[in-house]
């Protein structure tokens, strides 16, 4: 019998790719989200509504749970929502899984490399002390600490993805915004600090890492999911220019320069590779080419 996987946030950007990844590996996938959906096997339940979550989990009885659902846009207007969804919502989910009558083989929680905060330099590994610099990051770190209190009851694995992108990511994220401007041959673009450097992975590689983690079941462990390389926004602009042959006038909008901006984020993936074996993410140029075409 195929293993049944419950993916929360299955209708989101990452969820779409994880559904494909797991279905092609032979899993039966059930998606869960707060909105109605026409996708087969989709269950509507809100993370904030603990009664509807408990009813859903009691019915689904998954072998594996992957929790992607989160409020993820760092610039979101209402900071309280980060805590409601990312912390309380996750606790409601863990409680519902625990009360479902069936303990899954593994529960993968997607946290975020934002928990490391404004680390000045170097490559961050899982032992780097967290120093979250905004409400989103604090909510994710709080989620991790809260979830650890459930480790005696549930087989939880923690993933800390660094920035990743791909076709279908919304334009309030930086790379899709830049790609969209190049695709429509815009004359100019407004950006914030061009010298922030980020570790960018390809969403297709990220979901493959998630699949491998649920198969290896390293319970209680935390893993960076990253490329191990950084690119500044200046470099991203040049790569897009190389691929399209189009030049864009870049204007720095002070409103987009965040005071608590994390300058450099680069992930050490030694622990991840040691656990899941052969794994890599495409070069950023290849990912951008896919998005631009």
Interval 186-226: pLDDT, tens: 999 999 989 888 999 999 999 999 999 999 999 999 999 99
Q: For the whole model, what pTM was predicted?
A: 0.95
Confidence of residue 73 (pLDDT cuts 50, 70, 90): low
136 is catalytic: yes
Residue 262 has pLDDT above 80, yes or no: no
Phi, psi for 95 (deg, rounded to 5):
-65, -40
Residue of 27, 136, 164, 210 marked active site:
136
Q: Could you tell me how far CA 68 lies from the centroid of its own chain?
A: 7
The first and second tokens of residue 27, run together, are 């899993």
Site of tokens 């509504």 = 49
CB 4 within 8 A of CB 60: yes
The 10s digit of each residue's pLDDT in 28-68 is 999 999 999 998 889 999 999 999 999 999 999 999 999 99
**Residue length, the chain?**
293
Domains of the chain: 4-166+200-228+266-282 (3.40.50.720)
Number of C-beta neighbours around residue 203 at 10 A: 22
Structure tokens at 129: 């002390």
């Amino acid at each position: 019998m195929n293993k049944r996987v419950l993916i929360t946030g299955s209708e989101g950007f990452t969820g779409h790719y994880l559904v494909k990844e797991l279905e092609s590996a032979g899993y039966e996938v059930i998606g869960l989200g707060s909105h109605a959906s026409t996708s087969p096997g989709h269950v509507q339940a809100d993370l904030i509504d603990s009664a509807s979550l408990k009813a859903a989990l009691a019915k689904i009885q998954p072998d594996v749970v992957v929790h992607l659902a989160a409020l993820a846009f760092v610039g979101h207007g209402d900071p309280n929502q980060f805590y409601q969804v990312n912390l309380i919502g996750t606790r409601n989910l863990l409680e519902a899984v625990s009360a479902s009558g069936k303990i899954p083989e593994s529960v993968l929680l997607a946290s975020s490399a934002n928990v490391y905060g404004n680390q000045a330099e170097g490559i961050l590994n899982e032992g780097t002390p967290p120093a979250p610099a905004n409400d989103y990051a604090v909510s994710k770190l709080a989620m991790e600490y809260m979830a650890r209190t459930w480790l005696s009851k549930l087989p939880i694995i923690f993933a800390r993805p660094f920035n990743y992108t791909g076709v279908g990511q919304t334009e309030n994220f930086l790379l899709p915004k830049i790609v969209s401007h190049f695709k429509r041959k815009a004359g100019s673009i407004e950006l914030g600090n061009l010298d922030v450097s980020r570790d960018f992975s390809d969403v297709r590689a990220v979901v493959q890492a998630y699949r491998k983690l649920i198969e290896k079941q390293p319970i209680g462990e935390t893993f960076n999911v990253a490329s191990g390389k950084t690119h500044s926004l200046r470099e991203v602009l040049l790569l897009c220019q190389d691929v399209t042959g189009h030049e864009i006038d870049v204007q720095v909008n002070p409103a987009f320069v965040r005071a608590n901006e994390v300058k450099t984020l680069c992930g050490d993936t030694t622990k991840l590779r040691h656990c899941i074996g052969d794994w890599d993410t495409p070069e950023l140029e290849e990912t951008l080419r896919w998005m631009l075409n």
